[in-house]
Structure formats: structure tokens, C-alpha cells
């Protein structure tokens, strides 16, 4: 069944917020798909990068629950190719920030198995806590 | 004492919804010298203009101030109104309370009203000091220079020649016809391009009013409307067109082989060659760059076999000096250099070609002598070099959607087994018959996929090409192999345009094409009087639009020249000879080279050529003694405006 969505002024709020955080004028995207086809991570993503941008344009906050923004490696392939000059890695980073500012802990240090703690490099743990704890 | 009438326009709400126009009119009515102040819904309408005319008669007004839109927009209209009442058009002043007030300040209506009062007050202050300047009638002849012999230049030349005007058509290549000679068919009717173009080309040399100068370049232009002095260099072709019978004997013996420009380098030509099969003038030329026989005379093979004796190595470049009254720029476009878009591999992968290459392949294929194999799986990539900030071109090239639709259909119909895909971002089928033509392509089985190709990768063994593209409608990533990739390259301004445009000081729009005087109402004029634009020199466009614009440019040129005299603007600089010390600062500031220093005895005085002067005011601003003044913008007028504002 097809999804039904509504488009209200609240949706615009979400778009504004992502635009403010990323510094990109997201409405400029004309959905050509260059970013998606060139993305080295697209095979792992649940939605394509251009789909991520489209969701933001329409203000669909469900985009915050997708994997794509976490998989963006900030390799800038899309950025150097975007015919409208948009920086998608900034948009992905903005989405990650919105998600993380909700102060939800995605990793609990107490629940990490001791073996993992021994084996994982410290830097990975620290950046993991930075990224995934509130 | 002046008798001023002030009119405040509502502009149908554009102004009155923000500005309190009644308040502005009441304010103006109290100013000294103002006899009458009114407001009206549309000052530019017949009713508004009639109001001004009646008041001029009834109240004996000698100055008129109109607070409305920009003088760029309706200034000419109101000048005509005032003129028809018997006044000088230069006693009319406009206060721009729309573009410079109600539009930008829509959210501050109170402050906007105050600003509108100030602007009106300034216009009144200037009007008080307006002089009754008179337009001058200047003689003008009937000679036109057309730069560029593509379809735009040809159409303009034929229109002007038929109307009895003397035309000099200058083309840098050895033949006229331009890019259109290379095309297979034209969209959306699929007329054979050469078949519809060649009769027009053939009409040019037989028209008694057209002097055709091919293989020629404009080297210098000086002067002004009615008196442009043009220096043209005509390169030697080393072949006498009157004697050449096009027998091809010379080509057979010529040892020098170079890529054939006309075939986009897909074939070679000799150093002596016929520019294209429908060339006008229809004669062989020797390309001195690749000819072995020139300096020193090492090879005379063509000379030896030429039976009619048409070849003459002793030709030299010829300098031709002409004087013309108006100029039409029709220097056209060049196609985008696809090597700039490195991700598509043009120039690196042998099976990546441009759409212009495809035009040639189709022409040769239809003649039964294909230049190369095309394979069965063909992909068109749209917007190459257009709508792309990464290559610095944001504009849409307007023709690529339709030529790709055309080429794909021609390929599909000539062999229905072919699998043809067009990868587009937005498909623009805006012209007459275009949408129907697009529908026909869809019906023929050409597959249109919405997505911009990210990259092309060649299999180094099979030479097949893999495209990576998102189908943005299903959100799937397509990675598929094709035999041939065709790049739908966009249009860029012709490299040669700049040289001539700089001689005439024509301005350019941000996309690099030449700028028209007004996008709506003066689309083929430039801001330089007597210089017009035709075709793609002004921006990308298809053949019908180019032809329409060429006819428009010629009719605008006729409008100026036909009466034998024209009205010259009196807004020029003047020099007060008593004050001028001849320091020549104005000479160096003048961007139009309109000022010269006249020496008589030990007196040195600056003199302004009123025909060259465009009234920019640079000299008046730079003059240290105040000797240089600009009509209609005299220092005392500007001072009065400033005092009114402060």
C-alpha cells in the first residue's frame, strides 16, 4: 500500500531546521540523482541520498529513522558532482545532529561485552560515545 | 517660475497597496511651483495619459513629474505623452516609487510612504531646473553589417537585401551555413536540414544587395549609429571560385590529410577541400595551415592537375574597409567541450561521442555509408555542460531535450532492434509540436529514464560502457552496459563573439551570451544604438526562434534606417569652453572615446562628439573645473535633488 503523507507548515519547520544546521539551501535540489548513482555507500543504504534530500524537502521527519545518514562517509563524491552545488555531507551531518540532540543513548557502556571493550581501539570507543550518546 | 504637474500612480495596487498615494499627492501639491497634484490607478493607460494632456492644456503646465514605476519601464511612454502636448520630452521626470519603494519595502508601508514623498520631492526639484532639450535629427543611410553567416545571419541578410538595404555579410569560415549544415534533420518535423537550408544559402550570393564576404574576419569597428567604420580582413582561399569546377582532381593528389571539422573529426579531409557538400560559395579552398605547398613552394600537385587553372598561390589577405549604418551580431554558438566533464570520459573512451557526432553518423548512415558501428544499445546523457554548476554553466541549453528525442527516434526507426535510452533530469518539450514529438518517441519505444548519469566506466577489453545512474522515479540504482554513449552537449557562446562584442562594447549576461536591451520589450536590441542581436549569440535557441529573431533584428534595423534620418538623444555631455583648461582627464575617463582635445593656438579645449557620447556622465564627474556637464543631469540639478532628499 502506498504511503499517505500530509504536507503542512510543520513540515516546513523541519526543512528550515536542516537548512539552518547544514547551511545549504536544500530546496535547490532538483532531484537529478547524480549523488545517489555515484555514492560508494549507496549499496548499503536503505534510501538513496537523493531520496534523503527529497524527504527533507517535504519535511518528512521519518528520514531521521533511516540508515542512509549514518552511512554517509563524507567522501564528498556527491558534493563535487552536484549540478546545483549542494553539499550532501553537510545535510547528512545536520540530520545526525538533529537525531543526536534528542539526547538518546544508543550505546550503553554497561551493556558492552568486556571482550569487545578490550579489543576495540580506544579512539573508536570515544568517537562512538561522542556520536551515539546523548 | 515653473508650472509643475505631479501625478502619483497606483499601478493597479502594485504601489497603492503599500504606499499611501493620496498622502504623497497631497504632499507634492504643497511644494512650490507645483500647480496640480493628482493620483490615478494607471498613469500609463490611455486615461492616465489623457489626464496629463488635459492638465498641460488647462493649467499651462511646463514640467511634469510622474511618481510611478522605473523610467526604464515606462519612461519612453510618458516622454511621448509630454511630447505630443508640444513640450520637450525632457521636461518629464519620473520618481520610481515602485521598483525602488513599494516592491522592496512592502513590509514597511509607513516608511515606504515617507520614502515615496522624498523621491517625489527630488523629482520635483530636478524638474524645476529641467531645460527644454530638443532631439536632433541625424541623417542615416541604408547599409548594414551582419557578423556571422549561420542561419541567423543568412535570414537577416535576405530580409534586409529583399527590402532594398545594402548588406555586408561577414563569415569567418569559407562557407556560410553555420552549424545547421552539419545537422541530419530538424525537430519536430524531421525536415532534412540541408534540404531546407541550401536554398536559403544559394539565395545569398545572387541577391544584388548582399555582398558576401566569406573566410573574412572583422578586425576593427569604430564609430556610431549611421557611421560605423569597419575594417575586415579577407583571407586568401588560393582558389578562384569563378574558375573552380569542383571536379575533385586536386583533392585526389593532395598529400596533406587533416581531421575534417565539418564531420566533427570523424573523417579526414585534404588541405585543399570543399568546406561542405552544400557550400556557398561553392568552391574549393586551400587551408594554409596544413598545405605543404605554401612557404616554401614545395608541393604544387593541385596546381599541376587543375585543368581550369583555378589555383593561384599568389593570393594575399585583403583588407576591406566599409562604412555601415547599423550592425547585426549573429555570431552564434559553439558546442560545449565535453572533455570538461571528465566523469563521462569523452575523448578518453572511443565509444563516447557527442550529439553532433551522432548527427554526422546518422547522415552518413542514411546515405548507406556508415562512418562507424553504433551497436544496439545506445544511451543519451542529457544536460552535459548545461544546468551544471560544476562546469560553471547554470543555464538550460533549450535544444538538447528535443535533439536527443529526434536522434533517438531516427536511430530507433532505422533499426527497431536497437535499444535506446535517454537519461534526463527534466524533459523540456515546450515548443510548438514538441510534446507530440516526445510522445511519438515514447510510442516508438525509446526509453526515457529520469536520472542524471553520475559516471561512465569503460570495460578496457570489450570497450563497452557501464553507466551508473539513479532512476529517480523508482529510486533504484541502474548499472548497465551500453555499446555507445551519446552526450547531449549544450550551447556555449562562440569564442569569436567576444572580439567583436568588445569593439562595440556590448554587454554580456551572466551566462556569457550577449545581453539584450530589455528581456521583454527590446529582445533583439542592444544598449548600443544601431546594434542588434540575432540567434544564439543572445542565448541558446532552436532554429525557428533563431529565424524569427533574425527577421526581428532586420526589421528593427529597417525601422532605424528607413526614414533616412533618426532622432538622436540630447542627453550628452557638454563642455563650457570658457572654463575648460584642456587637462584631458575627461578624455581618459570616457569609455566611448567620444572626447578629443582641440588645440587652437595655445588654447586646449575638450570637445565632445555628440554622436559617440552615450551620456554616462563619467567626464562630468571627473572634470576638476566643472566645465564638463551632462545635459539633463547638470550639477545644479543633482545638487537640488540632494537638498530635497536631505
Q: Is B144 in contact with B327 (CB distance < 8 Å)? A: yes
Mean pLDDT rounded to a whole number for chain A? 91
Spatial CA neighbour of B527 closest among B608, B519, B535: B519
Q: Which residue of A37, A42, A83 is in closest CB contact with B451?
A: A37
Q: Which of A33, A38, A80 sits opposite B472 (nearest CB)?
A: A33
CB < 8 Å to B395, chain A: none
| Contact across the interface for B468 and A38, Cβ inside 8 Å | yes
Residues B509-544: tens digit of each pLDDT: 999 999 999 898 899 999 888 999 999 999 999 999
- Cell numbers of B24, please? 504623497
Residue B434 pLDDT greater than 70, yes or no? yes
Residues A62 and A14 in one domain: yes
B143-179+190-230+318-331+506-561 CATH = 3.50.50.60
Residues of A in contact with B453 (CB under 8 A): 34, 37
For residues B10 and B22, give the distance between their C-alpha atoms in angstroms, rounded to a whole number.
Answer: 10
What is the percentage of chain B residues whose pLDDT exceeds 90? Answer: 88
Region of residue B487 (phi > 0: left; psi between -120 and 50: alpha; otherwise: beta): beta
Q: What percentage of residues in chain B have a pLDDT greater than 70? A: 99
Instruction: Kindly report the backbone phi and psi dihedral angles of residue B635, in degrees, each rounded to the nearest multiple of 5, phi listed first.
Output: -55, -40
A15 and A76 fall within a common domain: yes
Q: Which three cell numbers stand for residue B544?
A: 525557428
The whole-number pLDDT of residue B251 equals 93
- Whether the per-residue pLDDT at B296 is higher than 70: the answer is no
Q: A7: pLDDT confidence band, cut at 50, 70 and 90?
A: confident
Give me the number of domains chain A comprises.
Answer: 2
Q: Give the DSSP H/E element, type plus range, for residue B603.
A: strand B603-608
Whether residues A116 and A83 share a domain: the answer is no
- DSSP string spanning B196-260? HHHHHHHHHHH-TTEEEE-SEEEEEEEEETTEEEEEEEEPP-SB-TTT----SHHHHH---EEE-
Alpha carbon B437 to its chain's center: 28
Q: Residue with C-alpha cell 541578410?
A: B157
Shortest CA gap B344–chain A (Å)? 12
**Dihedral over Cα of B468, B469, B470, B476: its sign:** negative
Neighbour tally for A46: CB within 10 Å: 11
A interface test, pick of B344, B385, B472 with most A CB neighbours within 10 Å: B472
Q: What is the pLDDT of residues B600-609, one digit of tens each?
A: 888 899 999 8
Cβ-based contacts of A55 with chain B (< 8 Å): none
- Does residue A4 lie in a domain region? no
CATH class held by domain B573-630: alpha beta
pLDDT in tens, B147-168: 999 999 999 999 999 999 999 9
Question: CA end-to-end span of chain A, whole Å?
Answer: 36
Q: Which of A32, A43, A48 sits opposite B452 (nearest CB)?
A: A32
- Look at residue B312 and tell me whether its pLDDT is greater than 70: yes
Q: What is the DSSP letter of A63?
A: G
A 74-133 residues inside an 8 A Cβ radius of B:
80-85
* Residue A50 with chain B: CB contacts under 8 Å: 470, 472, 475
- All three cell numbers of B43: 498613469
B354, containing H or E segment: strand B352-354
Residue from the list B390, B450, B451 with its beta carbon closest to the beta carbon of A83: B390
pLDDT digits (tens, 9 = 90+) for B224-245: 899 999 999 999 999 998 999 9
Q: How many pairs of residues across A and B have Cβ atoms under 8 Å apart?
A: 67
Q: What are phi and psi of B386, to 5 degrees?
A: -125, 155
- Please write the tens of the pLDDT for every residue from B48-64: 999 999 999 999 999 99
Q: Do residue A81 and residue A111 come from a single domain? A: no
Residue A111 neighbours by CB distance under 10 Å: 6
Angle (CA) B130 B136 B141, round 5°: 155
Dihedral angle sign, alpha carbons of residues B364, B214, B560, B77: positive
Q: Pick from B108, B419, B613: which is nearest to B116 by CA?
A: B108
**What is the pLDDT, as a whole number, of residue A1?**
65
Do A98 and A112 fall within a single domain?
Answer: no
Is the model's pLDDT at A6 over the cut of 90?
no
The answer to whether residues A26 and A80 belong to one domain is yes
Look up the ipTM and state it.
0.83
Q: Cα separation of B345 and B454, whole Å?
A: 12
Report the distance separating Cα A7 and Cα A57, nearest Å: 11
Residue A64 near chain B (CB below 8 Å):
no
B570 with B134: CB under 8 angstroms? yes
Spatial neighbors of B77 by CB under 8 A, at least 6 apart, are: B44, B49
* Cα distance between residue B52 and residue B535, in whole Å: 40
Cβ pair A31:B472 closer than 8 A:
yes
Q: Where are the domains of chain B?
A: 4-135, 143-179+190-230+318-331+506-561, 249-305, 334-492, 573-630
Taking the C-alpha atoms of residue B37 and residue B54, their distance in angstroms, rounded to an integer, is 13
pLDDT at B450: 97
Alpha helix positions (H), B239-354: 249-253, 301-305
Distance CA B216, CA B47 (A): 54
C-alpha cell at B377: 544499445
Q: Tell me if B548 sits within 8 A of B534, measured CB to CB.
A: no
A45 and A96 in a single domain? The answer is: yes
The pLDDT tens digits for B31-44 are 999 999 999 999 99
- The closest of B575, B551, B562 to B628, measured between CA atoms, is B575
Taking all residues of chain B, what is their mean pLDDT, rounded to a whole number? 94
Residue B191 has which C-alpha cell? 525536415
Residue that has been written with the C-alpha cell 539513479 in this structure: B470
E-strand stretches of B388-494: 419-424, 447-450, 455-458, 465-471, 476-482, 484-489, 491-493
- Average of pLDDT values for B382-389? 96
Amino acid B612: pLDDT: 82
Q: Do A34 and A56 fall into the same domain?
A: yes
Residue A42 domain flag? yes
The burial class, CB within 10 Å (0-12 / 13-18 / 19+), for B464 is: middle
Give the fold, CATH level 3, of B334-492.
FAD/NAD(P)-binding domain (3.50.50)
Range B262-288 average pLDDT: 94
- Can you count the helices (H) and strands (E) in chain B? 16, 34
Q: Are residues A30 and A43 in the same domain?
A: yes
A2: Cβ contacts below 8 Å, ≥ 6 apart: none
Question: CB neighbours of B367 closer than 8 A, spacing ≥ 6?
Answer: none
List phi, psi (to 5°) of A71: -85, -15
Give the pairing of strands B565-568 and B333-335.
unpaired
DSSP letter for each residue of B163-210: TT-EEEEE-SSSSS-GGGGG-SEETTTTEEHHHHHHHHHHHHHH-TTE
Report whether pLDDT(B619) > 90. Answer: yes
Instruction: State how far the Cα of B168 lies from the Cα of B317, in Å rounded to an integer.
Output: 18
B342 part of contact set with chain A, CB < 8 Å: no
pLDDT confidence tier of residue B295, bands split at 50, 70 and 90: low
pLDDT band at B326 (very low <50, low <70, confident <90, very high): very high
Q: CB B279: neighbour CB atoms within 10 A?
A: 23
> What's the Cα-to-Cα distance from B348 to each of B336, B345, B572, rounded to whole Å?
16, 5, 57
CA distance B274 to B246: 8
Q: Do A37 and B389 touch (CB under 8 A)?
A: no
Quick one: pLDDT at residue A102?
A: 80
For B467, name the nearest residue in chain A, comparing CA atoms only. A37
- Residue A119: domain span: 105-134
Question: In this complex, do A83 and B454 lie within 8 Å of one another by their Cβ atoms?
Answer: no
Query: Model pTM?
Result: 0.85
Tens of pLDDT, residue by residue over B446-476, are 999 999 999 999 999 999 999 999 999 999 9
A18 with A38, same domain: the answer is yes
- Residue A77: closest C-alpha in chain B: B454
Query: Do the domains B334-492 and B4-135 match in fold?
Result: no
- Span B329-351, mean pLDDT? 96
Q: Which residues of B touch A36 (CB under 8 A)?
A: 454, 470, 472, 475, 477
Separation in Å, CA of A21 to nearest CA in chain B? 23
Given this structure, which CATH class describes domain B4-135? Answer: alpha beta
How far apart, in whole angstroms, are the C-alpha atoms of residue B398 and residue B393?
Answer: 13
Indicate if the alpha-carbon torsion angle B123, B127, B130, B135 is positive or negative. Answer: positive
A51 and A110 in a common domain? no
pLDDT at B567: 86
Model pLDDT, residue A4:
85
Amino acid at each position: 500500500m502506498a504511503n499517505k503523507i500530509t504536507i503542512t507548515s510543520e513540515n516546513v519547520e523541519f526543512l528550515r531546521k536542516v537548512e539552518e544546521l547544514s547551511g545549504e539551501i536544500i530546496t535547490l535540489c532538483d532531484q537529478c540523482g547524480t549523488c545517489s548513482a555515484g555514492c560508494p555507500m549507496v549499496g548499503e543504504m536503505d534510501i538513496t541520498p537523493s531520496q534523503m534530500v527529497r524527504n527533507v524537502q517535504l519535511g518528512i521527519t521519518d528520514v531521521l529513522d533511516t540508515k542512509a545518514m549514518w552511512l554517509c562517509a563524507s567522501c564528498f563524491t556527491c558534493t563535487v558532482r552536484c549540478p546545483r552545488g549542494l553539499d550532501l555531507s553537510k545535510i547528512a551531518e545536520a540530520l545526525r545532529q538533529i537525531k543526536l540532540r534528542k539526547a538518546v543513548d544508543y550505546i550503553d557502556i554497561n551493556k558492552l561485552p568486556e571482550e569487545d571493550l578490550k579489543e576495540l581501539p580506544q579512539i573508536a570507543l570515544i568517537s562512538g560515545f561522542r556520536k551515539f550518546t546523548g | 517660475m515653473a508650472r509643475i504637474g505631479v501625478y502619483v500612480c497606483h499601478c493597479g495596487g502594485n504601489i497603492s497597496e503599500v504606499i499611501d498615494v493620496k498622502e504623497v499627492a497631497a504632499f507634492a501639491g504643497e511644494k512650490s511651483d507645483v500647480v496640480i497634484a493628482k493620483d490615478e490607478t494607471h498613469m500609463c493607460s490611455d486615461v492616465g495619459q489623457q489626464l496629463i494632456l488635459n492638465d498641460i492644456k488647462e493649467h499651462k503646465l511646463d514640467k511634469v513629474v510622474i511618481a510611478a514605476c522605473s523610467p526604464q519601464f515606462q519612461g519612453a511612454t510618458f516622454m511621448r505623452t509630454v511630447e505630443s502636448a508640444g513640450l520637450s520630452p525632457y521636461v518629464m521626470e519620473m520618481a520610481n516609487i515602485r521598483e525602488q519603494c513599494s516592491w522592496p519595502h512592502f513590509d514597511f508601508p509607513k516608511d515606504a510612504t515617507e520614502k515615496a514623498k522624498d523621491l517625489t520631492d527630488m523629482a520635483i526639484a530636478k524638474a524645476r531646473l529641467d531645460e527644454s532639450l530638443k532631439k536632433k535629427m541625424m541623417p542615416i543611410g541604408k547599409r548594414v553589417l551582419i557578423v556571422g553567416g549561420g542561419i541567423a545571419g543568412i535570414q537577416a541578410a535576405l530580409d534586409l537585401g529583399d527590402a532594398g538595404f545594402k548588406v555586408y555579410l561577414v563569415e569567418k569560415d569559407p562557407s556560410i551555413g553555420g552549424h545547421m549544415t552539419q545537422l541530419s534533420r530538424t525537430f519536430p518535423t524531421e525536415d532534412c536540414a540541408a534540404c531546407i537550408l541550401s536554398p536559403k544559402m544559394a539565395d545569398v550570393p545572387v541577391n544584388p544587395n548582399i555582398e558576401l564576404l566569406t573566410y573574412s574576419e572583422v578586425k576593427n569597428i569604430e564609430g556610431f549609429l549611421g557611421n560605423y567604420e569597419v575594417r575586415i580582413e579577407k583571407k586568401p582561399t588560393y582558389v578562384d571560385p569563378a574558375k573552380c569546377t569542383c571536379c575533385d582532381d586536386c583533392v585526389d593528389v593532395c598529400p596533406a590529410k587533416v581531421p575534417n571539422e565539418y564531420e566533427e573529426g570523424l573523417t579526414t579531409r585534404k588541405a585543399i577541400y570543399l568546406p561542405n557538400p552544400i557550400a556557398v560559395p561553392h568552391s574549393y579552398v586551400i587551408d594554409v595551415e596544413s598545405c605543404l605547398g605554401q612557404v616554401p613552394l614545395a608541393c604544387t600537385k593541385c596546381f599541376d592537375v587543375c585543368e581550369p587553372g583555378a589555383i593561384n598561390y599568389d593570393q594575399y589577405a585583403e583588407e576591406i574597409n566599409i562604412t555601415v549604418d547599423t550592425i547585426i551580431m549573429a555570431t552564434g554558438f559553439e558546442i560545449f567541450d565535453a572533455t570538461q566533464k571528465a566523469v563521462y570520459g569523452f575523448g578518453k573512451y572511443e565509444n563516447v561521442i557527442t550529439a553532433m557526432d551522432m548527427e554526422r553518423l546518422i547522415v552518413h548512415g542514411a546515405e548507406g555509408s556508415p562512418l562507424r558501428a553504433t551497436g544496439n544499445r545506445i544511451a543519451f546523457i542529457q544536460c552535459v555542460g548545461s544546468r551544471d554548476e560544476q562546469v560553471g554553466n547554470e543555464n538550460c541549453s533549450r535544444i538538447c531535450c528535443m535533439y536527443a528525442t529526434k536522434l533517438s527516434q531516427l536511430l530507433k526507426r532505422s533499426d527497431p532492434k536497437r535499444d535506446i535510452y535517454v537519461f534526463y533530469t527534466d524533459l523540456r518539450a515546450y515548443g510548438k509540436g514538441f510534446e507530440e514529438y516526445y510522445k511519438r518517441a515514447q510510442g516508438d519505444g525509446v526509453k526515457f529514464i529520469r536520472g542524471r548519469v553520475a559516471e561512465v566506466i569503460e570495460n578496457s577489453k570489450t570497450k563497452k560502457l557501464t553507466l551508473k545512474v539513479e532512476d529517480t522515479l523508482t529510486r533504484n540504482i541502474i548499472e548497465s552496459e551500453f555499446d555507445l554513449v551519446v552526450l547531449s552537449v549544450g550551447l556555449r557562446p562562440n569564442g569569436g563573439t567576444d572580439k567583436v562584442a568588445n569593439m562595440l562594447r556590448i554587454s554580456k549576461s551572466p551566462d556569457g551570451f550577449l545581453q539584450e536591451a530589455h528581456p521583454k520589450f527590446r529582445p533583439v536590441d542592444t544598449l548600443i544604438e544601431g546594434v542588434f542581436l540575432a540567434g544564439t549569440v543572445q542565448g541558446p535557441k532552436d532554429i525557428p526562434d533563431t529565424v524569427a529573431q533574425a527577421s526581428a533584428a532586420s526589421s528593427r534595423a529597417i525601422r532605424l534606417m528607413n526614414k533616412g534620418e533618426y532622432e538622436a538623444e540630447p542627453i550628452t555631455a557638454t563642455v563650457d569652453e570658457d572654463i575648460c583648461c584642456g587637462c584631458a582627464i575627461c578624455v581618459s575617463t570616457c569609455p566611448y572615446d567620444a572626447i578629443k582635445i582641440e588645440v587652437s593656438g595655445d588654447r586646449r579645449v575638450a570637445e565632445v562628439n555628440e554622436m559617440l557620447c552615450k551620456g554616462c556622465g563619467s567626464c562630468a564627474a571627473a572634470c576638476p573645473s566643472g566645465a564638463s556637464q551632462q545635459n539633463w543631469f547638470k550639477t545644479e540639478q543633482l545638487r537640488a535633488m540632494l537638498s530635497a532628499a536631505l
